[in-house]
Amino acid sequence: MKENAESRYFIKSVVEKYMSCIEEIINIPKLLECLDSVIKKGNLKEVTQEIILQSKVEFNIIEDDKDEDLEDDS
């Protein structure tokens, strides 16, 4: 699929955008299945906290200790 896109669109950014859109379409149904399983097992809070933590790491978000204490109490 990527090879076809590269032969049709010569601009790399167009190909990358095209491929990322396809990847999202493929992954969303699988993600929904996984989330449904997490909910059924009663692990939504833990998974949500891990997603938040990983997002903070990815985007280099630093919080002060006061904010972290509030999250631990909830």
pLDDT tens-digit profile of 57-68? 878 888 765 555
Query: pLDDT class for 9, splitting at 50, 70, 90?
Result: confident
Q: What is the pTM of this model?
A: 0.48
* Cα–Cα distance measured from residue 63 to residue 74, given in angstroms and rounded to the nearest whole number: 16
Task: Please give the share of the chain, as a percent, with pLDDT higher than 70.
Answer: 81
Q: In this structure, what token pair is assigned to residue 24?
A: 């999202």
Tens digits of residue pLDDT in 37-54: 999 999 999 999 998 888
Q: In this structure, what token pair is assigned to residue 22?
A: 């396809």
Query: Which pLDDT belongs to residue 22?
Result: 75
Q: Do 47 and 38 meet the contact criterion of CB atoms below 8 Å apart?
A: yes
Please give the residue that has the higher pLDDT: either 51 or 74: 51
Q: In this structure, what token pair is assigned to residue 44?
A: 């939504």
